[in-house]
Structure formats: C-alpha cells, structure tokens
Amino acid sequence: MALQQKKHEMPTQAPEVRAHNFDEVALGYTAEIALEEARRCLNCKNRPCVEGCPVNIDIPDFISRIKENDFEGAYGVITKSSSLPAVCGRVCPQETQCESKCTMGVRFEPVGIGRLERFVADYHNENCKKAPQKPQSNGHRVAVIGSGPSGLTCAGDLAKKGYKVTVFEALHTAGGVLVYGIPEFRLPKSIVAKEVDTLKQLGVDVETNVVIGKTLTVDELFDMGYEAIFIGSGAGLPNFMNIPGESLKGVYSANEFLTRSNLMKAYKDSDTPIMKGGSVAVVGGGNVAMDAARTALRLGAEKVYIVYRRSIEELPARAEEVEHAKEEGIEFRLLCNPTEILGYNNENDPRDPKNGFVTGMKCVKMQLGEPDASGRRRPVEIPGSDFTLDVDTVIMAIGTSPNPLIKSTTDGLEVNRRGGIVVNEDGLTSRKGVYAGGDAVTGAATVISAMGAGKVAAAAIDKYLSE
Amino acid sequence: MYRIIRKKELNPTVTQMEIEAPLVAKKAKPGQFIILRVDGDGERIPLTVAGVDREKGTVKIIFQIVGATTRKLNEKREGEYIQDFVGPLGKPTETDGIKKVCIIGGGVGCAIALPVAEEFHRLGARVVSVIGFRNKDLLILEDEFKACSDSLTVMTDDGSYGRHGNVTVPLKEMLDHGEKFDMIITIGPLIMMKFVTLTAKPFGVPVTVSMNPIMIDGTGMCGGCRLTLHRDGQNVTKFACVDGPDFNGYEVDFDEAMSRGRMYTDFERHAYEQTCNLFKQA
C-alpha cells in the first residue's frame, strides 16, 4: 500500500460552531487515525526528528509502539523525556521543530508527530488509572519558583530522580501561563490540572499563593534547607506602546484580558468582569495575539481585528493558529500600526458614564523597508495613510519585559540589559546553586523551549547535588 | 485555606478580620497589601494590610462592604476559612528621614492609615492625624488613632461628630499657621487624596498618596492597575502593584485614576445585587 503523502487531518470543531464556544477546537485523532498516521513514519536510521525536539523525545520509538497498538508503551517512551505530553502535543510549534526535520517531509508532508503525541497522552489520561510509582527519595531538597512549563518540567525530572521538590506559585492555581494565558479552547485546564496531579503523585509539593521576592526570598529558601533553586518565574510585565489613550477604559494588556478570561474564569459565570461584545482590536501578531483575538470572539465580540505592523510573512504566530483565527472570521489588518487610541469625552457633561471609554483606534499604514537587526524587513510608515478603526476594546499583545521582583531581592543575581536572568549553558545563574530558565531568562518564547530549559537545569542540579 | 481567627464589625459597612497567614505576617510592613479570594470561583481583590501580629502569625484586614466579593467575605464567620491569601505585595511606606508627619485618612482608608501612623509613632516621629468620615455612624478606629498620634482631629461631612467639614479644612489651617511637616501621607477616596494634594501644593510640602486601583495578580503581570504619573513634563506609566501602592501625590493623574476605577461599575452593581439576592434566599 502506498504511503499517504499528506498528514491525516486533525478533526476539529467547525469554525462557525467553535467561534461561539470555549470547547477545544482540535478534537484529537481516534485510535484508527493514529494507527494510520503512525504507519507513515519510515523509522529512518538517522532520526532527525529527535534532534528537532527541544527535550529530545525518542520520537521513532514512541511511534513504533503506536504501530504495535501499544499506546501505554508509547506513553512510557514520551514521559522518559517530557513531563507534560498532553500539553506539548497541543501547543508545541511542531512545524518548526520535530516535524520540520522529518524525512517524510522532504518529499511529502511530515509525520504528524504532535498529533500522535497528543493522542498517546490523551489515551493514557483517559484509560490509565494507575498512579505513577513514587521514586525512592535521595534526601535532597530542591525549590522551584513558578509552576509554568519550565518549573513543572524541572520539578518532574528531579522528582523522578528522587529529589524532594517544592514548587512555589504566586497565583492561586498551578500551571503558570498554561492556566492564565493559553485559553481553554486550545488547552483545556483539566489537562493542565491532570499533569500537575501526576507530578504531585511523584511526590512534588505545590505551594500556591507564595510570591518569591515578597513572601519569601531566594536566600530564605536556602535557609529553609533547600539545597538548589530553579527560577522559572516567567515573562513578567506587559509592554504597552506608549501612544496616547492607553489608559482609557477598554484598553487591556493581553495578559490582563487572558487572565480575566482563563484563570479568573470570566469565560463562564464568575464574579470577574471583562469587556464583552462590540468591536475589538488586538495589537500584535504572536500566538498571544491570536489567543486574545479568538477569546474576544468567543466572549461575544461582533468584530475582531488583528492589527500587525508587518506582513503575513513575518507574523510570529503558528501557521495553524493564524489559519484557525481566519476561519473563525477574525480580520487581519496587516502592515498597520496604531498611533492613538480614541476615547469618548462629553465636554458638556463630565459625569457622562460613557466618558473615558474607548471609541476607536487611529492607525497608519506601513510598508516594508530594509531588513533590521532581527533580519526582518523593517516596517516604515506611509505618510498620510492614517485611518481609524471603530472599536470598543483594544488589547495590547506586544510582548512582556522581565519581572523585577526576584532580581531586586536576590543579591548577586546577574541580569542582562533587558532584565533577563543571565545563565550559562547548564542554566546556572551567577549565584551558586541557583538555576533559571524559561521566559525569565529569554523573554517571551514558547512553552517547549521553557520546558527544554527546565530539563537542562534539572540535569545540572542533579549533577551539582550528586557531587 | 486561611482561617479567620477573629471578626469584628467596626461599623455597619466596615468589618475587621484577623486572618491566620504566618508567612505574610512575618514580612508585612505598613503600606503593603494582600490579595485574597473568598472562594474557588471568586475574584481576586487587593486589601491593604491593617496590622500584623508576628507572634500569632495573623494579618489584620479591614474592608468596606461595597461589592459582591466583600459581601461574601463579610458572610464568613470566625473559625471559617477563606480560599486564598497572598502577600505582602507592593512596597512598604517610606519612613526614612521623616520626623514630623501629617497622616490624613478618609473613610475606610483610615484602616490603612492607622498602621502607617503607628509605625511613625514607633519610630519616634511626631504624628499629626486627621481622619474624616461621612457621618458619626461611619466613624472607625478613633481610639487607635488617639493612641499613636500627638494630635488627632476627627472630621465629619455632616458635622454629626467632631468638626464639620472635609479633612482639607484643618490641613489648610495648620499649613496657614506655619506648621511644618516633612511629609503628608493621605489614604482614602481618590477625590480626597486629590484635594489634599491640591491643598498642600502652595506650601510645598511633599505628599504621599496610597493608590488602590483595580488589579488581578498583584505581581506586575496584568498591568490592569496602571496609572499615569506626570513627571518632568512626561507621562510615565507605573503599575500600582509593584511600583506602589504609594506615589508622589503631585505626579499622579487622579482624574484618569478615577475614570479607570469606574470601568466595571455596571457589572459590579449587577454582581452585588445578585449576591445580595442569594444571601436573602439562603
């Protein structure tokens, strides 16, 4: 039988249906589709996909197990390298990682590695009721700051080696960006909760409501008997554009908008208010911008724009997310840059309740000029091309800068010019026994690169404490 | 979960609670705040620390019943638990080099002003306090202020207790009479803090105001608590949760802060009515 040249399609909710609910968009492979897709893997000798994976999952091995109908075996292979398979199977940019290296991909479409990973993890979560074996303790204690992807990975890897790990989380729920940032329709919260539970069964303690740098400091953690510390405190403070009108009511950072909807559950009935309906402009072109736009749509917006200053070529979001957003009816205003946010102001009545709410966003059209330092062509304003978008809500999704809370309370912790924690190739900071990884080091990046950093640091911590 | 050790009604709309939270109690300083959630589906609300007992490991909070969440919180009894309690957040009030201070509290803001006054008293500074309320029934913490102040003036808007008028009246009198303060610290409604600042301005006395905007995480992540400072002819955006909550009163854009504070008025009214109805039915 000839091999199918294309990946098996991912079953999804129809765009016109999903645009009005928060249920997961992608429904996952059935066992039949997974088997068919697994058969597309050539099990080639040089295994380039493994190199493409930031945590080096033995991809051909897990796919071989699927071919043999041994789904639990496949799960065992993945979890040797990854603590969060159900998460990665959903949010990893496989198209630029493992799948971009796939031998099948040279002539045809690569094997759907991410979809198979998700299938295996979901199969396990649904069918396996057996708690994971708690490893023999080695007596060492490690503190992990932050329960996002890097922290959970680091904690999981160390726990499997017998370390007693405590994860400190500033918010009231563990998961970091996986719960406050990534929306339910892309990553159901029950899946994150399940992954956190698995870690707890391995013996990891999770202490919520502890802000390191405030409630406790890094030095106090050492005093409490932790022998090594991993900082995975995440991206931090949202950036704004510094244009007029950003303090008007109806202007959100993507962090705030998504946190209100996801973590604070404004997407279902809760006490948390959020602006719903009307027209919404999301400024930015990354995955966070796509998440914010699609969340606004689901909350009931009539019209949602993505406003991005470069062209479709430069959009940093995953192609799949952009595709989904377009299918759902989100309008892309590319090569556009906001210059001012306009607000209602009734000069005759300072008490008019509409005063101070957003009414529109002034933009200017852009064209691409010479490449800049990032190698991307620099957008330049087209003079006289100003226009106004009529919107009620503006969401700024233009990145974050590192949070100063830990740096400012930890003597001798070196940070770079942008405020990111400086680490060596092992994730070691300028302080002995203190490691760091994820967005706290790199600035806003992907879930899987944060996981990779957590993994590297866990190995280095193990080496450090074994010496 | 965090246990409510003690609960006391200060007036019909203001309640004091002592919450068991040893880690917070160990660190909290005057001017800092906590964020709490009453139950698993609740919103996160910031409340400034009204006092700590480091030995008992408890933190005192004082809140006005203004919305759905504070209403739910007020329904909790001694010995019961609240879901989440995190802190201390924000920067403590700056006390260095201040030998004589005027503390001006308004309404429930007096609950926050009190530990600040107590701290200055403990440090040996001269403390002149002015506290204001709408009327006699809403008066709180008078004895506590007396105990830590070298002088105390109580004002009511309707003259039903103490002196009649706004807190700015005695402030202006003192400044007119040549009283010198190293710092005026004012905590209360935005409109009051704005007018305290305007009153002090001609006399060139530094004013610190304590901002209490809408916030979610309290660690700088959401940016919802941002406010604009006018500094050296520039507009500077600051986050109240990490850069504050104390700010130089002369720099704060109060009108913008007041407008932002009304962002969810309709939603809040609706949520409050719903919560009240729930309690009525129960």
Q: What is the pLDDT of residue A83?
A: 82
CA dihedral sign, ordered B188, B192, B196, B201: positive
CB B160 within 8 A of CB B135: yes
Q: What is the pLDDT of residue B131?
A: 97
Q: Domain end: B179, B200, B221, which one?
A: B200
Q: What is the pLDDT of residue A350?
A: 85
B149 and B190 inside one domain: yes
Q: Is residue B216 part of a domain?
A: no
Instruction: Write down the domain spans for chain A.
Output: 23-127, 141-236+402-466, 239-400
Q: What is the pLDDT of residue B281?
A: 66
How many residues are recorded in chain B?
A: 282
Q: Is residue B235 part of a domain?
A: no
CATH number of the domain where residue B64 is located: 2.40.30.10
Longest alpha-carbon distance in chain A = 78
Q: What is the pLDDT of residue A128?
A: 85
Q: Is residue B35 part of a domain?
A: yes
- Is 3.40.50.2300 the CATH classification of the domain at A239-400? no
B66 and B120 inside one domain: no
CA B59 to chain centre: 15
pLDDT confidence band for A2 (50 / 70 / 90): low
Say which of B43, B89, B262 has its CB closest to residue A264.
Answer: B43
Over residues A9-21, the mean pLDDT reads 93
Q: Is residue B190 part of a domain?
A: yes
Q: Is residue B222 part of a domain?
A: no
Q: Domain end: B45, B66, B89, which one?
A: B89
Residue from A165, A113, A114 nearest A137 by CA: A165
- Residue B176: Cβ within 10 Å count: 10
Question: What is the bridge-based pairing of β-strands B14-20 and B58-64?
Answer: antiparallel
Q: What is the pLDDT of residue A445?
A: 85
Kindly state the percentage of chain B with pLDDT values over 70.
99
CB A66 within 8 A of CB A38: yes
CATH topology of domain A141-236+402-466: FAD/NAD(P)-binding domain (3.50.50)
Over residues B81-103, the mean pLDDT reads 96
| Chain A neighbors of B223, CB-CB under 8 A | 237-238, 240, 253, 255-256
B100 and B164 inside one domain: yes
A 164-223 residues with CB below 8 A of B? 170-172, 180, 208-211, 214-216
Q: Domain end: B185, B200, B215, which one?
A: B200
Fold match, A23-127 / A141-236+402-466: no
Q: Which two structure tokens, joined as six digits, stand for B196? A: 């305290």
pLDDT confidence band for A250 (50 / 70 / 90): very high
Answer yes or no: is pLDDT of B277 > 80: no
B100 and B30 inside one domain: no
For residue range A288-319, list pLDDT tens digits in order. 999 999 999 999 999 999 999 999 988 999 88
B32 and B20 inside one domain: yes
For residue range A23-44, list pLDDT tens digits in order. 999 999 999 999 999 999 999 9
Answer yes or no: is pLDDT of B127 > 60: yes
pLDDT confidence band for A196 (50 / 70 / 90): very high
Residue from A252, A343, A264, A263 nearest A289 by CA: A252
For residue range B132-148, list pLDDT tens digits in order. 999 999 999 999 999 99
Q: What is the pLDDT of residue B176?
A: 96
Give A57 to chain B, closest Cα distance, Å: 32
For residue range A370-382, list pLDDT tens digits in order. 888 878 888 999 9
Over residues B4-10, the mean pLDDT reads 95
Kindly state the percentage of chain A with pLDDT values over 90.
79
Chain A interface, best mutation among B35, B221, B263, by max A CB count within 10 A:
B221
CA–CA separation, B148 and A378 (whole Å):
61
B11 and B109 inside one domain: no
| Chain B neighbors of A273, CB-CB under 8 A | 263-264, 267-268, 271
Contact B256 A403 (CB under 8 A): no
Tell me which range, A116-130, A268-282, B185-199, is most confidently predicted by mean pLDDT. Answer: B185-199
pLDDT confidence band for A443 (50 / 70 / 90): confident
Contact A273 B84 (CB under 8 A): no
Contact A255 B87 (CB under 8 A): no
Helix axes A287-298, A319-327, angle to 10 degrees: 20
Contact A270 B43 (CB under 8 A): yes
B67 and B150 inside one domain: no
Q: What is the pLDDT of residue A298?
A: 95
Q: Which two structure tokens, joined as six digits, stand for A330? A: 């989100």
The residue assigned the tokens 């971009």 is A100
Into how many domains does chain B fold? Answer: 2
Chain A interface, best mutation among B34, B49, B222, B229, by max A CB count within 10 A:
B222
B 34-93 residues with CB below 8 A of A? 37, 41-44, 68-69, 83-89
B100 and B188 inside one domain: yes
B39 and B112 inside one domain: no
Q: What is the pLDDT of residue B282?
A: 59
Chain B interface, best mutation among A145, A208, A271, by max B CB count within 10 A:
A271
B98 and B181 inside one domain: yes
Nearest chain A residue (CA) to B29:
A214
pLDDT confidence band for A158 (50 / 70 / 90): very high
Q: Which amino acid appears at position A389 of this protein?
A: L
ipTM of this complex prediction, to 2 decimal places: 0.91
Q: What is the pLDDT of residue B30?
A: 92
Answer yes or no: is pLDDT of B193 > 80: yes
CB A277 within 8 A of CB A301: yes
For residue range A321-366, list pLDDT tens digits in order. 999 999 999 999 999 999 999 999 999 998 888 999 999 999 999 9
B171 vs B266, higher pLDDT: B171
Q: What is the pLDDT of residue A205?
A: 97
B151 and B172 inside one domain: yes
What is the CATH architecture assignment of A23-127? Orthogonal Bundle (1.10)
Which pTM value belongs to this model?
0.92
Answer yes or no: is pLDDT of A1 > 60: no
B150 and B165 inside one domain: yes
Beta-bridge partners for B155 = B132, B163
* Domain housing B72: 2-89
pLDDT confidence band for A450 (50 / 70 / 90): very high
| Chain A neighbors of B222, CB-CB under 8 A | 238, 253, 255-256, 259
Nearest chain A residue (CA) to B2:
A209
CA–CA separation, A280 and A306 (whole Å):
9
Say which of A242, A255, A271 has its CB closest to residue B222.
Answer: A255
Q: What is the pLDDT of residue B225?
A: 93
DSSP structural state of residue B211: -
